[in-house]
Every structure is written in structure tokens, then in C-alpha cells.
Structure 1
Amino acid sequence: MLAADKTVELPEKEKFHIYLLIGQSNMAGRGKVDPATNKAHPRVLKLDKAGNWVPATDPLHFDKPKIAGVGPGSGFGPVIAEASPEVTIGLIPAAVGGTPLSRWVKGGDLYERAVKLAKENQKKGVIKGAIWHQGEGDSSKPELYNSYQKRLAGMIADLRTDLGEPEMPFVMGELGEFFTREGAPTVNQALHGITKEVPATAVASSKGLPAKSDQVHFNADSEREFGKRYAAQMLKLQKQASEK
């Protein structure tokens, strides 16, 4: 296992596969970190706040340091790494808790920041996909959740264009079953709607994944399992692309 916070020497560009982690708090992760088991997979790295590639221990994100914890990236990275033993996986943790989709569409501050981070690291590796969890912040107002599908589909198209990756796989995660805000079902329907109209997209199911006591955030075990579901969908999209 790798020691945390130690900058790692990167492999050659073609063997460094990078994934963008974007969205709000359930992507950033609010699951409780267990120091006893907080070890990095030997071939999974994260981009830290200073822009260095270091072992991917939890928390991956640093959006809100006092509460950042286990997120889906923690389950996602190792599964992707095990599927390709010859490569190293790099996770760019760009999610920020409490953020609406308006900040993630082209021109929004978080979109532009994520694109900047990805572009800077395209010199070092190859962008292989993005995973997304967001929507809680858009599930209170009808004008937001009823337009969610169109706005997110537009963001995916812009992101692919701006990164020069027109077929980049994009996996979205459902809002939790426990999240009962009025627009949540519409947001989840929008995610599935996107898979029917936007190529190389998929949805990771949140079925059966419990929340923390706040009934807003997935707990640590749920987040790791969610990450494995994201990985399964990502690998499926990549397999489909390779068979074209």
C-alpha cells in the first residue's frame, strides 16, 4: 500500500488513465472515514489541492475539509484499476457540496475549474471518463428540475467538446431513495432520459443504498458500493466503445 500524501512518479502518458469526479456533496463524499482501513490502492492516485498526484486515500475531495469523507470515488477507483492491471488510475476530485447545476454548465465557475484541471493533466495522462452525482440542489424548484435533463445533456456535450474527447464515457448516479424532495423523481427520470438521447452515457443505480442519519448523504458503505456500481457502468461503456 502507498503512503498518503506522498507525490508519486507517474507512468507514461498512455498508461495513466484519468477520471473526472464532478457534482455536489454525494460525489465529494460525506461518509465517515475509518483510519484503520484508509489505505490507497497501489495504482489509484488522486489530484490533491496543490495539484500533485498522490495516493488516493480518503477523503479524495477537499471541498469542505471539516466534513469531506468517503465518496463513490473510493469504490470506483480500485475496480477500474483491477480491470486494467497494466495502467495507473488518476482521479480528479472536482465536486463541491451544496452546488446547483447552474455552476456546472459551461460558463459556470465549477465547470470552468473542472475543465482547467482536466486540461492541465491531459499532458500527463488520458481522460477516460467522468462520473457525476448532483441534483439534490435542483430538486426544490420546478423550473430547475423540469429543465434538468436538457441542461445536463448540454453540459455533457460541452465538456466533451472542451476536452477534445467527443465520445468520453459519462456515468451519472441516481439520487438516493431516501431523498424525498419534490423534484427528486424528476431528476432521476432525467438521468435515464439522457441515456436514451446522449451516446456513451449510463446511470448507476442507488437502489438499496442507505443514508447517514441526515437522510441527505449516503453513508460510507453505501458510497463505496455506489462507486462499484459507477465502475461497472463505466467499464460497460468502455467495452461497448471498443467493440464499435
Structure 2
Amino acid sequence: MKTMLCSIASLMFLQASCMSAADVAIPDKPEDFHLFLLVGQSNMAGRGKVEEHDREAHPRILSLDKSLTWTPAVDPLHFDKPTIVGVGLGKTFALDYAKQHPGVTVGLVPCAVGGSPISSWEPGALDKATKTHPYDDMLPRIREAMKSGVLKGILWHQGESDAGKEATAAVYEEKLHSLIKRFRTELNAADVPFVAGQMGHFEDRPWSELKKRVDAVHQSLPGKVRRTAFAKSDGLTHKGDKVHFDSASYRELGHRYFAAYQSILTADRP
């Protein structure tokens, strides 16, 4: 019996790992398709080394690709910089969510753009490095996704590009609060949870005062904007460049984002 169960489990795992776009099943009811918007810069997009298990698909976790097609969610999820994109935090978050919600399918909508300052996440703004319009490009993607599902959360990791200058650090809080309000207004999702993650805090790269200021904005967010949470990055390590997390740290960060997300829901309970 034990051998038979193992064989069945192995077969199910093999089937999930070999999923293709043709195998994707979108739930008939939008309330059974829970969507998460992944936004920010490179540490949201992910720069970790992709390993074999990162390419393993889960039958209830999908990702919206560049052509607006739902596909099995495997790393890399993003496509902002195809030659360097890698493992991020999104898939681990989705795995935790799917485990907690066995009756639903999770839909990830990757929209992060490496190197983008928060000013790029405004209507009409151009990100010169990638020649893209992060905010304007994001809107049709999430709106297309919302035709099939319900937006359940927005995951944000960004700040490094604004922590190098006094001028940008000084207005970061105002811009972040405005961005959250804009997301909720434009997507008609006034109560959607928003989770911000902490920038990499690595021992061999001490923070400047400006980076501490941007971090303070992230940390204070739950006390200033309703239904928001903060995911810490303490103890995580970088991939060798002192900027981007390594793959194991991205996965751990995904767990932390999920815990932060859950804290918002828990606070709603009487």
C-alpha cells in the first residue's frame, strides 16, 4: 500500500511538473481564482539562480505571461530583463497561499521592472533604462487578469532606486501612499491588502542614512495606511552583488510576505 501511494504521489508530481499552457484550467467562477499583483523593481522580479525545482509547476498556481496568456507558474515569473531575471518571491508566496486555500487557483500577475524608481510607477511615466512605462504597462495586464478572477493582494518590493538621493528619499513616503491609493482606486479595490517588503539589509553593505529613511517609510506603512503590512528581510543573504537576494533568501522572503499578508486578514477578525 505504501509503495502504491508513493507511486501515485510521484505520478501526480510528474504531471504537475510537465504542465504546459495547454493544460491550464482557469476556474469557471471568478471567486475561485485569486489574483496577486507583483510590482516594484528587481528584487520583486527576482534575480536568484533558477534550480530544477523552481521549474516545477503546481496545478493550482498560474502566471500571466508577457502575451497575456495564463501559464503554469514557474521561475522566472518576470520578463523585465530576460537575460538576468531569475527566482523571486512570488512563487513561494503562491505555494503558501494555495496550501492555505485548497479550493482555489492562484493567479500571479508579474509586472515588476528592475531598476525602476517609484516615480516610474505613475501614469505616463517612462522608465528610461528599460524604455517601458511600468504603471501604464501594468494596468492592462491586471485588468485583463481581473476579467477571470478577483484581486486579493498587491505585493510591492522597491526602494533601492530612491535611496541614493536626498530629493527622492524625501518624497518617497508621499509617493508610496499615493501609489497605494491609486492602485485601489483604479482597480476598484478599496480594501485590497498591500504588502511592502524590506530592502536587503546585508552585513557587508551597511545602509546609508537615506536608505534608512526609505526603510522607515516601509516599516511605518501599517500604522499609516489601512490594510497594509511589512515583510522584514533581516538575516537574508545576497547573491554576491550586495543588492539582490540569493535564491534561498527569495524563497524565505516569499514565506514572510505570506505571513505579513495573513496579518492583515487576522487583524480584520473580531
Instruction: For residue 21 of structure 1, give the secondary structure of its aligned residue in structure 2.
Output: strand
The aligned counterpart of 2:171 is 147
**Structure 1: 4+ residue segments shifted above 6 A:** none
Q: Deviations over 1:20-54 (max 9, x none)?
A: 00000000000000125521222111111111111
Contact 1:169 1:237 in 2 (8 A): yes
| Residue 234 of structure 1 pairs with residue 234 of structure 2 | no
| Same amino acid, percent of matched pairs | 43
Q: Size of the alignment, in residue pairs?
A: 243
Other-structure match for 1:30: 47
Does residue 220 (structure 1) correspond to residue 247 (structure 2)? The answer is: yes
What is the deviation of 1:2?
4.2
Query: Which residue identity lines up with residue 9 of structure 1 in the other structure?
Result: A
Alignment partner, residue 56 of structure 1: 73
Rg larger in 1 or in 2?
2
The question of whether the paired residues in 1 share the 8 Å contact of 2:237 and 2:245 is answered with: yes
Question: In structure 1, what is the equivalent of residue 7 of structure 2?
Answer: none
- 8 A Cα contact 1:28 1:68, kept in partner: yes
CA contact (8 A) 1:140 1:181 kept: no
After superposition, residues 90-169 of structure 1 pair within 5 angstroms as: 90-108=107-125, 109-169=133-193
Is there any run of 5+ residues in structure 2 with no aligned partner, and where? 1-15, 126-132
User: Would the aligned equivalents of 2:17 and 2:55 in 1 still touch at CA under 8 Å?
Assistant: no
1:193–1:34 distance in 2 versus 1, CA, 3 Å:
same
CA–CA distance in structure 1, aligned partners of residues 68 and 85 of structure 2: 18
Q: In the superposition, relative to structure 1, how do residues 62 and 94 fare at CA in structure 2: closer, same or farther (>3 Å)? A: same
Which structure has the higher relative contact order (CA within 8 Å, separation 6+)? 1
User: 1:77 & 1:124 partners in 2: Cα distance?
Assistant: 17
Structure 1 residues not aligned, in runs of 5+: none
Displacement, 1:187? Answer: 1.0
d(CA) in 1 for partners of 2:113, 2:223: 27
Distance 2:183 2:253 in 1: 23
SS in structure 2 of the partner of residue 130 of structure 1: strand
Amino acid at match of 1:31: G
Q: Does 1:185 align with 2:212?
A: yes
Q: Structure 1, residues 134-164: CA drift from partner, whole Å, max 9, x if none?
A: 0010011011112111110110001000000
Once structures 1 and 2 are overlaid, which stretch shifts more, 67-76 or 98-107? Answer: 98-107
Pick from 102, 105, 113 the counterpart of residue 88 of structure 1.
Answer: 105
Q: Which amino acid aligns with 1:80?
A: Y
Q: Could you say which residue in structure 1 is the equivalent of 2:3?
A: none
Give the partner amino acid of 2:49. Answer: K
TM-score scaled to structure 1, two decimals?
Answer: 0.95
Following superposition, the deviation at residue 115 of structure 1 comes to 2.1
Amino acid at match of 1:84: H
Q: Distance in 1 between matches of 2:124 and 2:100?
A: 35
1:159-185 CA distances to partner (integer Å, 9 max, x unpaired)? 000000001100000011125452221
- Mapped partners of 2:267, 2:168: distance in 1: 32
The question of 1:171 aligning with 2:186 is answered no
CA deviation map 1:199-235 (0-9, x unaligned): 0000000010000110000000000000110011112
